[in-house]
Amino acid sequence: MELITVSTRAIEGQKPGTSGLRKKTKVFMGAHYLENFVAAIWAGIGGVAGKTLVVGGDGRYFNDRAVQVIIRMAAAEGAAKLIVGQNGLLSTPAASNLIRKRATNGGIILSASHNPGGPDEDFGIKFNMPNGGPAPEEVTNRIFQATKTLSEYRIAEGQDIDLSALGETTFGEMAVEIVDPVTDYAAMMEELFDFEAIGGLLAGGFRIAFDAMHAVTGLYAHEILENRLGAAPGSVLNGTPSPDFGGGHPDPNPIWAKPLVDLVMGPDAPDFAAASDGDGDRNMILGRGVYVTPSDSLAVLAANAPLVPMFREGLSGVARSMPTSGALDVVAKELGIPCFETPTGWKFFGNLLDAGLAQLCGEESAGTSGDHVREKDGLWAVLFWLNILAVSRMSVAEIMSAHWKKHGRNFYTRHDYEGVETEKAEALMESLRARLGTLPGKTHAGLTVAAADEFAYDDPVDGSKATAQGLRVAFEGGSRVVFRLSGTGTVGATLRVYLEAYEPDPAKTDGDPETALAAVIAAAEEIAGIKAHTGREGPDVRT
Ligand code: VG1
Ligand code: CO
């Protein structure tokens, strides 16, 4: 093994966003781009010498090349060992599990998650801590600082490691263990859920469809749903990972997973359907004739938690991101347990989970997970639902309707304006931020503003503070709108407008959210001037 020191220059814009650094794949493939960021990770974590890390990704274009670069750069710095998923693959929750289970010093996950993949699409990289969770802002800030001052990095020359061959090998002095990406994860799922009950449900003719969206979860879903639980062969759709996700966006929502939604709304609908995203950490839940909004799904899981072995003893606390609907809060209140409200991004749940303050967390963007890992976990949420369905013997539609009758319904929708010119999106936010203080008491589209502020978060565990986490406008009567700019996109800006209204009357919980929220949508437009600022007539995506 020959060590080379490469001189480089700081590259601008290597600032991690909501979940790691995401850029166009071609940017990552440019001279020194990936190498600089990996060197900055080493600097940000106090060096990699003597450490053991997990490495894997969602299989998108450039995943395998990036793994080889990380192997050579870790070896050059004297890392003790890398544990790598076979063929460079690991779903995000499986990586989180391996980091924890093998008591490593953390891991590197190669993914741009729900963003499309391919030479002309997106790539991403992030560092996870020894607890298995995404690096907190303190660490990502250190990494970003390091990207600004780099002048060289070290890399070892050597043959590529055969990522397909399971078992342990070495690269120079460093051990490289290639592991099956599914085995440990599947074993954990068997411990957390009642596989006998779910297997029984499926054996009784209950039909499911799981859309892996040509992404990494296909491996996991084939093994767990079909092989271990006995779902009919073919229940897993698009189950072979492809570097460009079959040309689509691996985003499990009614827009990008439309064929699955059409299936459950059609005449030959299965009893249950679900999808997950590029790196397997998100979930979309569907039943025959029903789409379950992620915020509602989270509330349903909380309300039914004692039905699954993992939460047999009940929950001691739950948490949701700020833009996620208050449906979880309603359940938490009834259970008499705390419900924490965090900024968007899974990294903010880590401390609450580590401290045992929350055991179930979720985001409106279809991320849900428990304290078994420190990432959101798509298949876990699917198994949680299947376990509830198997024990309760109710349909998805019956569960939703019973839930709303008991707790009321938080009508919810999110409107995304994608690829807006950055200056225009920022101008909208700036203008609204400046007017927040003047809004209370004013009436828009028949709704009177009760409060308006910019969300900031004080972490109750380590006291760290996160500011500028979204602009909130609450109306009298409990409805609200939140404005935020996305931190995961790679082109221009994405404006997210989160809209919500609570309906306590059990007689009024049916219906279409876009209709139920018409007044809130109109008020949001009046308050923020979305059309005027963005030049758009309406959102690109409604979820
Ligand atoms: C989005 C979601 C957020 C999620 C993040 C990472 O962030 O809104 O809830 O945690 O993606 O998810 P943003 O900044 O674009 O709104 V994943 O599955 O894309 O890693
Ligand atoms: Co994801």
What pLDDT, in 10s, does the model give residues 308-350? 999 999 999 999 999 999 999 999 999 999 999 999 999 999 9
Q: What pLDDT, on a 0 to 100 scale, did the predictor assign at position 352?
A: 97
pLDDT reading at 401 higher than 90: yes
The CATH class for the domain spanning 2-180 reads: alpha beta
pLDDT reading at 491 higher than 90: no
Q: How much distance in Å is there from the Cα of 367 to the middle of ligand 2?
A: 8
Q: Ligand 1: which of 15, 19, 126, 373 to mutate, most ligand atoms within 8 Å of CB?
A: 19
Ligand of minimum distance to the alpha carbon of 322: 1
116 and 248 Cβ atoms separated by less than 8 Å: yes
The token duo for 376 is 């959101």
Q: Classify the C-alpha dihedral 401-404-405-407 as positive or negative.
A: positive
Q: How much distance in Å is there from the Cα of 111 to the middle of ligand 2?
A: 8
Q: Determine how many CB atoms are found less than 10 A away from the CB of residue 246.
A: 15
The C-alpha atoms of residue 103 and residue 91 are separated, in whole angstroms, by 18
Q: How much distance in Å is there from the Cα of 110 to the middle of ligand 2?
A: 11
Q: What is the mean pLDDT of residues 535-541?
A: 92
111 and 121 Cβ atoms separated by less than 8 Å: no
Side-chain half-sphere exposure of 124, counting CA atoms within 13 A: 27
The C-alpha atoms of residue 237 and residue 260 are separated, in whole angstroms, by 9
277 and 213 Cβ atoms separated by less than 8 Å: yes
The C-alpha atoms of residue 41 and residue 79 are separated, in whole angstroms, by 13
Q: What is the mean pLDDT of residues 188-217?
A: 97
Q: What pLDDT, on a 0 to 100 scale, did the predictor assign at position 18?
A: 85
**Ligand 1 atom closest to 321 (CA):** 9
How many residues would you count in the chain? 543
Q: What pLDDT, on a 0 to 100 scale, did the predictor assign at position 488?
A: 84
Q: Is 19 in the pocket of ligand 1 (CB under 6 A)?
A: yes
Question: For residue 450, what are the contacts with CB-CB under 8 A and spacing of at least 6?
Answer: 440, 474, 475, 476
Q: Classify the C-alpha dihedral 512-516-520-526 as positive or negative.
A: positive
Q: How much distance in Å is there from the Cα of 331 to the middle of ligand 2?
A: 26
Question: For residue 306, what are the contacts with CB-CB under 8 A and spacing of at least 6?
Answer: 312, 313, 314
Q: What is the mean pLDDT of residues 58-73?
A: 98
* DSSP reduced 3-state for 504: coil
The C-alpha atoms of residue 164 and residue 180 are separated, in whole angstroms, by 9
The C-alpha atoms of residue 490 and residue 248 are separated, in whole angstroms, by 16
Cα–Cα distances (Å) from 430 to 247, 492, 496, in that order, read: 36, 16, 15
**Ligand 1 atom closest to 111 (CA):** 20
pLDDT-based confidence at 132, cuts 50/70/90?
A: very high
What's the whole-number average pLDDT of the chain? 96
3-state helix, strand, coil in the chain (%, to 5): 35, 25, 40
pLDDT reading at 490 higher than 90: no
Q: Is 479 in the pocket of ligand 1 (CB under 6 A)?
A: no
Matching fold, domains 185-407 and 409-542:
no
- What residue owns the CA closest to ligand 1's atom 6? 19
Q: What pLDDT, on a 0 to 100 scale, did the predictor assign at position 19?
A: 87
The token duo for 216 is 């990494």
**Ligand 1 atom closest to 92 (CA):** 20
The token duo for 378 is 């798509």
- What residue owns the CA closest to ligand 1's atom 16? 486
pLDDT above 70: percentage of residues in the chain: 100
φ, ψ of residue 379 to 5 degrees: the values are -65, -35
The token duo for 393 is 């013997």
Q: Is 488 in the pocket of ligand 1 (CB under 6 A)?
A: yes
Q: Is 464 a catalytic residue?
A: no
- What residue owns the CA closest to ligand 1's atom 4? 345
Q: Which of 96, 113, 242, 365 is catalytic?
A: 113
| Tens-place pLDDT, residues 233-289 | 999 999 999 999 999 999 999 889 999 999 999 999 999 999 999 999 999 999 999
Q: What is the mean pLDDT of residues 1-17?
A: 94
Domain residue extents for the chain: 2-180, 185-407, 409-542
136 and 75 Cβ atoms separated by less than 8 Å: no
**Ligand 1 atom closest to 346 (CA):** 10
**Closest to 99 in 3D by CA, of 112, 77, 81, 78:** 81
In CATH, the number for domain 185-407 is 3.40.120.10
Neighbours of ion ligand 2 (CB under 5 A): 113, 277, 279, 281
In CATH, the number for domain 409-542 is 3.30.310.50
**Ligand 1 atom closest to 488 (CA):** 15
Cα–Cα distances (Å) from 354 to 45, 136, 306, 399, in that order, read: 20, 13, 21, 31
- The angle subtended at Cα 379 by Cα 408 and Cα 264, nearest 5°, is 60
Pairing of strands 360-363, 290-292: unpaired
| Tens-place pLDDT, residues 157-186 | 999 999 999 999 999 999 999 999 999 999
Q: Is 487 in the pocket of ligand 1 (CB under 6 A)?
A: yes
The C-alpha atoms of residue 308 and residue 313 are separated, in whole angstroms, by 10
The conformational region for residue 327 under phi > 0 = left, psi -120 to 50 = alpha, else beta, is: alpha
pTM of the model: 0.95
